[in-house]
């Protein structure tokens, strides 16, 4: 294992120091319990947005803290959901009297820790709504599993809810909107290579020199199946088909298309994939009204990509376009 | 025959030792069907738990186990944090106020712990989780006639339950995403649960 | 070789399609000859900025085309400088009557192709100034080499010159400012892993499981030497010392610190490095007034990082802060 | 004995063939001390050059070589594009207007080509570049007494010049960044230059 770190156990702590040093003009960092919070939090009268999850998915979530997006992010250890005390303290730190939305990716650990936070936080007198994201169509038999995983749509939910919260919308409205984005979003991912967590030091799975793993999550877990590597056009089709057919998206729909890198894939390849996604969308009669291409929800150094489509409505477009000023997403400000 | 506070502390030290010793094994099991952090998570948690135990004024076994519970909840994260946290919290609550713990109290406390884990995680027997080691172990305690025998039977039952997870298809937790591919791997959480019973037998059986 | 591509020879073309599909609201793409140009080019009365270089360094340069930064970027094949006809057409496309600045990284190929473009473009009646970047302190005996390479500082030159051009500064002023940024900038890079160009299919060099390559460029070429992997603190020191001592930077200087990922390094590691850079800067009495952390000038999927420091003056700060609206850098708009 | 336009076209086809055949070799040489694209670059360029030659009305050898020059300049990029472009342009300019080319004219044209390459790239003998194959080959042409012998001697001299780059420390181009580490590797550009002379001998010597 070769990594730019000081010690496996120190990664999160050291990286938080880097975040504070680099973005101290926009965010503050609490180390114990660990969370990243908007400099100006709590914003009085505004609904607070808190997310969190394991580290190793950067820039998610810490890179999305700032005006127009999250008020706070709770980073767990690498690929390990954060703990209830982080969530409780972050929630308190961002409550401006209008309640707080927790954006939670649907993983057993994340859900249980946020649940415990809610139970333990009772009596704090902060109204909390939870938006659970579960957009990963790779998980098929969700009745016999922990349910679909929350992946790419989470970034979009955070941005769109962030815009709505900034616009003064109520706790219920922000949460409803987040749920609507999730309900209208579908994702699927694939890997060319595994990743190595600092704690384990070993590849998360073994892949042949000509194999790809289809239907992966974002924690280095193996996917649904593996197959021979194919041209980007076929791989894009492989991911797009289950996405488009699951919602289902139909001719005439307006969509946001998000091609996300898993962390180790060169941007030039993501653009190659985006070209294919645009072509497939066109063939299916979908109009891509907004897009995002880049590394936003990653799995350490894994090579591969995921595709997310969200069926848009006017309100989503409006809050997607709204100003945002975070380390990783910035526009309109 | 009864369990004292100091024996409980010994149990926790041994459990922490087992987790540290088997950290890489737990990581490897979790790499195969999960995200490869279970050993690291449990080790971080039990290290923290021992730290907390050192500094604390502990009235009894129950107090010690509640301290462990809180340390785990606030340092482990992932699925194991809330699950083990709940387990220890329920056991600790049940044992609080008893300076000595007999077999009936101990088995009863474990039953509460198991119920807590199932309430939190919704896993049933056969879902390929730590519950598959817990259920037979708790039942062994409940049907034992004396503490020593009960502890040994529980450790053995946990080991068998752990091994029996291998052929199962996971239906809860991260491994469930793998569907059929989760077969032929032993569940990491069931494995750490076995170490918990193993260290209990070593520390608490006379 | 596993890549998200259709064919090695098609990478550049396919990626340009992706860029056009994703960013058509801000840029236009010419395919033959290949260049990416601001949608609103030529901007009358504004100095035009053209850069270019091999592909595989994304988002550089195409991702820096837009208001407040480049007017056009000429992408060569992967790791191969572009050709004179691209530069000539791009220069014509952006000339708004105030002349055009070519920002050229100091590599034999880039320099000669831009030279030929200048010779062949004579008589086109466009005034062209060239800013050559050569900030890489890893190249020591520059008398006996092709001179120092242009690396990280190029991104900063493009941003700062872009701000000045947008502000209506003259051709001479913009070029002078670019040269000043370059003259006050120093960089050094290292790799944990090699990269694989689509055309070659093989790793650019072989590294042991516990080795790192120090003093690399951005084309997968081997570095100055290799050594055993060390903690991030030591590696940062290894890069910072020759940078700081070369200019030299001294106690009291105001600097911009740029920690750049080579493409395959997780962002969390870049923040670990940035924490170390901030510490070393503090110890040396340097005040980091601005910073940039992320993958901006990359080498395909290479893991590793580079550090760039620029000694700032007020004018540089002003144009660094100026609005920019490109695919890869956006603020103030 | 003289060189015709059609022989020149044959030369270019053979050179393109050598480059295609040795693409991976040139890539491997450039991977060791450069950025691994020389074979791909030259192959892209010569493929383009042949395409252009197909469609063109070509008066003579000079016109053919100027067509190759422009194709290379606009499709190769990197260091090799301007250098080979300049080389072919200078040779083509010198030969333009001659329907048949004799040894003196050919050697003179190559001298111009060499001068062009050195003016563009500033490399001297011993800098570990294509110039190290060019200089001895051009000199062999200049000192030959007939065309056939001159072409064969030039190919041999280019090969020797190419091999002699191996122990050198590069002082120009990308390989120069490596300093001492550039030793013990043959220069890719000198290698493609050798193929240029090799195919010249095959196509043009009777
Ligand atoms: N719903 C659940 N109920 C009971 N145990 C579970 C459940 N989900 C997961 N587990 C247990 O947790 C273990 C994984 O723990 P760990 O790796 O620490 O957390 P994570 O899966 O969040 O990375 C599994 O091996 C399994 O035994
Ligand atoms: N200044 C120079 N003068 C002459 N030849 C040079 C010079 N610089 C580089 N070369 C030649 O170019 C070759 C490399 O070409 P190529 O790999 O296509 O370009 P690049 O180095 O831009 O990737 C070198 O092997 C060397 O022979
Ligand atoms: Mg985990
Ligand atoms: Mg796990
Ligand atoms: Mg090159
Ligand atoms: Mg090269």
Any atom of ligand 1 within 6 Å of the Cβ of B30: yes
| A251 burial type by CB count under 10 A (0-12 exposed, 13-18 middle, 19+ buried) | exposed
What's chain A's length in residues?
333
Tell me the two tokens of residue A69. Answer: 């997006």
Interface-testing mutation among B35, B45, B175, with chain A (most A C-beta atoms within 10 A):
B35
Contact A202 B36 (CB under 8 A): yes
Q: Are A136 and A208 in contact (CB under 8 A)?
A: no
Mean pLDDT of A36-65: 98
CATH domain C16-184+320-331 topology: Rossmann fold (3.40.50)
Do the Cβ atoms of A11 and C192 come within 8 Å? no
At residue B177, what are phi and psi to the nearest 5 degrees?
A: -65, -20
CATH of the domain at B15: 1.25.40.340
* Peptide bond before residue C42 is cis, with ω within 30 degrees of 0: yes
pLDDT over 80 at B85, yes or no? yes
Q: Is A216 helix (H, G, I), strand (E, B) or coil?
A: coil
Q: Kindly provide the b/e burial profile for residues B72-97, where b requires at least 16 CB atoms within 10 angstroms of the residue's own CB.
A: bbbbbbbbbbbbbbbbbbbbbbbbbe
Exposed/middle/buried for residue A331 (C-beta within 10 Å: 0-12, 13-18, 19+): middle
Q: What percent of chain A clears pLDDT 90, i.e. is strictly above it?
A: 90
Answer whether B44 sits within 8 Å of A77, measured CB to CB: yes
Summarize the confidence of residues B58-74 as an average pLDDT. 97
pLDDT of residue C29: 98
Out of D35, D79, D162, mutate this one to test ligand 2's pocket (max ligand atoms within 8 Å of CB): namely: D79
Q: Does the beta carbon of A116 lie under 8 angstroms from any beta carbon of chain C?
A: no
Interface of B with A in 11-50 (CB under 8 A): 27-28, 31, 33-37, 39-41, 44
Cβ-based burial of C140 (10 A; exposed 0-12, middle 13-18, buried ≥19): middle
Residues 6+ apart with CB under 8 A from A326: A26, A63, A64, A65, A66, A67, A68, A69, A70
Q: In angstroms, rounded to a whole number, what is the distance separating the alpha carbons of residues C88 and B60?
A: 83
Q: What is the pLDDT of residues A217-233, one digit of tens each?
A: 999 888 888 999 999 99
Beta carbon pairs, A and B, within 8 Å: 132
Contact C267 A295 (CB under 8 A): yes
Structure confidence at residue A121 (pLDDT): 78
Count how many domains chain D has: 1
Nearest to C139 among D74, D75, D177 (CB): D177
User: Which single residue is written with the structure tokens 């609550």?
Assistant: B93
Report the alpha-carbon distance of residue C77 to residue C75 in Å, rounded. 7
What pLDDT is attached to residue C120?
85
Position A273 scores a pLDDT of 98
Question: How far is Cα C248 from Cα A216, in angstroms, rounded to an integer?
Answer: 48
Tens of pLDDT, residue by residue, chain C (333 residues): 899 999 999 999 999 999 999 999 999 999 999 999 999 999 999 999 999 999 999 999 999 999 999 999 999 999 999 999 999 999 999 999 999 999 999 999 999 999 999 888 777 789 999 999 999 999 877 677 788 999 999 999 999 999 999 999 999 999 999 999 999 999 999 999 999 999 889 898 899 999 999 999 999 888 888 999 999 999 999 999 999 999 999 999 999 999 999 999 999 999 999 999 999 999 999 999 999 999 999 999 999 999 999 999 999 999 999 999 999 999 998
**Ligand 2: which residue has its CA nearest to atom 9?**
D173
Kindly determine whether residue B31 and residue A76, on different chains, have CB atoms separated by under 8 Å.
no
How far, in whole angstroms, is CA D80 from its chain's centroid? 10
Compute the Cα dihedral for B162, B168, B170, B171 and give only its sign: negative
pLDDT at site A139: 85
Catalytic residues of A: 57, 219
Q: Chain D residue with minimal CA distance to C218?
A: D35
CATH architecture, domain C185-311: 2-Layer Sandwich (3.30)
Residues C235 and C216: beta-carbon distance below 8 Å: no
Nearest to D23 by CA among C12, C11, C200, C206: C200
Residue A170 has pLDDT above 70, yes or no: yes
| A54-63, A99-108, C220-229, C231-240: segment of lowest average pLDDT | C220-229
How far apart, in whole angstroms, are the C-alpha atoms of residue C246 and residue B157? 68
- The b-or-e profile of C190-206 (16+ CB within 10 A means b, else e) is bbbbbbbbbbbebbbbe
**Distance (Å) from CA B66 to ligand 1 centroid:** 21
List strands edge to edge, sheet with C72-78.
C27-31, C34-38, C72-78, C48-55, C100-105, C128-133
Q: What parts of chain D have a pLDDT lower than 70?
A: none
Q: Which two tokens stand for residue B121?
A: 């995680």
With a CB-CB cutoff of 8 Å, which residues 8-27 of chain C face chain A?
A: 11, 14-19, 21-22
Out of D31, D130, D131, D134, mutate this one to test ligand 2's pocket (max ligand atoms within 8 Å of CB): namely: D130
Phi, psi (5° rounding) for residue C147? 90, 170
The pLDDT value recorded for residue C142 is 66
Q: C207 CA to middle of ligand 6, Å?
A: 20
Q: What is the pLDDT of residue A225?
A: 87
Residues of chain A contacting residue C16, judged by C-beta atoms under 8 Å apart: 271
* Chain A residues touching residue C22 (CB < 8 angstroms): 271, 274, 278, 291, 293
Q: Could A272 and C332 be called an inter-chain contact, meaning their C-beta atoms sit closer than 8 Å?
A: no
Q: Average the pLDDT over B18-26 and give the result.
A: 97
- C145 CB near a chain A CB, below 8 Å? no
Q: Which of residues 179-198 of C touch A (CB under 8 A)?
A: 192-193
pLDDT score recorded for residue D90: 97
Distance CA A157, CA A226 (A): 30
> Given A22, A233, A304, which is nearest C6 (Cβ)?
A233
Nearest CA in chain B to A84: B74
Q: What is the pLDDT of residues A114-160, one digit of tens each?
A: 999 988 877 778 999 999 999 999 987 767 778 999 999 999 999 99
- Pick the residue from chain B with its C-alpha nearest to A142: B177
pLDDT score, position B31: 92
Does the beta-carbon distance from C192 to A235 stay under 8 Å? no
Residue A333 has pLDDT above 90, yes or no: no
State whether the beta carbon of B198 lies less than 6 angstroms from ligand 1. no
Q: Give the burial string for C154-165 (b: 16+ CB within 10 Å, else e).
A: bbbbbbbbbbbb
Measure in Å the smallest separation between the Cα of D85 and chain C Cα atoms. Answer: 10
Is the minimum distance from the CB of D161 to ligand 2 under 6 angstroms?
no
Please give the Cα distance from B137 to B119 (Å, whole number): 18
User: Any idea which ligand is nearest the CA of A80?
Assistant: 3
pLDDT at C121: 78
Q: Is B121 in the pocket of ligand 1 (CB under 6 A)?
A: yes
**Residue B97, phi-psi category: left (phi > 0), alpha (psi -120 to 50), beta (remainder):** left
Chains A and B touch (3+ CB pairs under 8 A): yes
Residue ranges per structural domain of chain C: 16-184+320-331, 185-311
Q: In chain A, whose CA is at the least distance from the CA of C281?
A: A21
Domain encompassing residue D116: 3-204
pLDDT at A142: 66
Task: Out of A303-312, B83-92, C197-206, pick the least confident.
Answer: C197-206
Q: What is the pLDDT of residue D78?
A: 95
DSSP code of residue A150: P
> Which two tokens mark B167?
């052929």
CA distance A293 to A317: 17
């Amino acid at each position: 294992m070769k990594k730019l770190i000081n010690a496996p156990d120190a990664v999160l702590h050291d990286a938080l120091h880097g975040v504070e040093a680099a973005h101290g003009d926009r965010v503050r960092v609490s180390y114990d319990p660990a969370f990243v919070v908007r400099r100006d939090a709590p914003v009085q009268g505004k609904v607070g947005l808190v997310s969190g999850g394991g580290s190793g998915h950067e820039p998610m979530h810490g890179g999305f803290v700032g005006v127009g997006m999250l008020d706070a992010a709770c980073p767990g250890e690498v690929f390990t959901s954060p703990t209830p005390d982080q969530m409780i303290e972050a929630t308190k730190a961002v409550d401006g009297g209008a309640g707080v939305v927790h954006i939670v990716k649907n993983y057993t650990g994340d859900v249980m820790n946020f649940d415990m936070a809610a139970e333990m936080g009772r009596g704090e007198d902060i109204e909390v709504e939870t938006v659970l994201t579960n957009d990963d169509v790779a998980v098929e038999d969700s009745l016999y599993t922990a349910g679909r995983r929350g992946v790419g749509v989470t970034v979009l939910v955070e941005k769109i809810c962030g815009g709505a919260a900034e616009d003064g919308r109520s706790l219920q409205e922000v949460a409803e909107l987040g749920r609507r984005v999730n309900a209208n979003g579908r994702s699927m991912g694939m890997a060319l290579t595994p990743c190595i967590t600092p704690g384990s030091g070993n590849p998360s799975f073994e892949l042949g020199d000509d194999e790809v793993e289809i239907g992966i999550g974002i924690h280095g877990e193996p996917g649904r199946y593996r197959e021979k590597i194919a041209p980007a056009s076929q791989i894009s089709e492989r991911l797009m088909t289950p996405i488009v057919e699951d919602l289902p998206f139909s001719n005439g729909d307006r969509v946001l298309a998000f091609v996300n890198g898993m962390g180790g894939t060169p941007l030039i390849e993501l653009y190659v994939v985006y070209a294919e996604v645009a072509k497939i969308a066109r063939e299916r009669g979908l109009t891509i009204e907004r897009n995002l291409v880049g590394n936003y929800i990653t799995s350490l150094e894994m090579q591969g990509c995921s595709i997310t489509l969200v069926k848009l409505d006017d309100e989503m477009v409006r809050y997607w376009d709204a100003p945002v000023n975070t380390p990783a997403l910035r526009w309109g400000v | 025959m009864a369990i004292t506070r100091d024996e409980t502390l010994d149990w926790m030290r041994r459990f922490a030792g087992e987790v540290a010793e088997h950290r890489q094994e737990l990581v490897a099991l979790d790499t195969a069907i999960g995200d490869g952090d279970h050993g690291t998570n449990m080790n971080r948690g039990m290290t923290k738990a021992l730290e907390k135990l050192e500094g604390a004024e502990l009235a009894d076994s129950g107090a010690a186990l509640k301290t462990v519970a809180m340390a785990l909840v606030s340092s482990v994260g992932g699925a194991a944090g809330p699950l083990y946290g709940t387990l220890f919290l329920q056991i600790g609550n049940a044992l609080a106020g008893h300076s000595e713990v007999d077999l009936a109290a101990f088995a009863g406390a474990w039953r509460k712990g198991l119920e807590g884990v199932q309430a939190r995680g919704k896993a049933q027997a056969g879902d390929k989780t730590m519950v598959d080691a817990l259920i037979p172990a708790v039942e062994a305690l409940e049907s034992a006639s004396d503490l020593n025998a009960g502890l040994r039977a529980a450790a053995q039952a946990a080991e068998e339950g752990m091994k029996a997870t291998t052929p199962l298809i996971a239906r809860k937790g991260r491994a469930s995403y793998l569907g059929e591919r989760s077969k032929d791997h032993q569940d990491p959480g069931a494995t750490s649960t076995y170490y918990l019973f193993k260290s209990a037998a070593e520390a608490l059986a006379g």
